[in-house]
Amino acid sequence: MPEFFEFFDFFDPTPEEQNVVLVGAATLREAEKLIEACEYCNPEGAEIPFDNVLDRITGSDPSVTDYILESVPRCPKCRRPGSGKDFDQPR
Ligand SMILES: [Zn+2]
């Protein structure tokens, strides 16, 4: 009988240079203001990761920064909770 283990991301060793930023509710609200639509209500246009919005707001370096979200961001248009990916932004 095989044993199954589930390994999640937090088992990965975090490189020392990795910058983990906790994103609080206030920052999430700021980020939502920059979102126009999500992958559900604008499948054509939604192609910018939510991380990218957070990079702009926090001024973090996207190549070394991971975000821990305090709550799930919601699309301001359809109020769907986002996956954290693929929100559409104004250009
Ligand atoms: Zn939406």
Domain spans, the chain: 18-91
- pLDDT tens per residue, range 52-79: 999 999 999 988 998 999 988 888 889 9
CB under 8 A, 24+ apart: contacts of 40-45: 40/75, 40/78, 40/80, 41/75, 41/77, 41/78, 41/80, 42/77, 42/88, 45/88
- Distance from the CA of 61 to the center of ligand 1, in angstroms? 27
In 3D, which of 25, 20, 23 has the Cα closest to residue 10? Answer: 20
- pLDDT tens per residue, range 31-40: 999 888 888 8
- Predicted TM-score (pTM) of this structure: 0.68
- Distance from the CA of 42 to the center of ligand 1, in angstroms? 7
pLDDT over 90, % of the chain: 25
Q: Is the pLDDT of residue 10 over 60?
A: no
- Distance from the CA of 20 to the center of ligand 1, in angstroms? 27
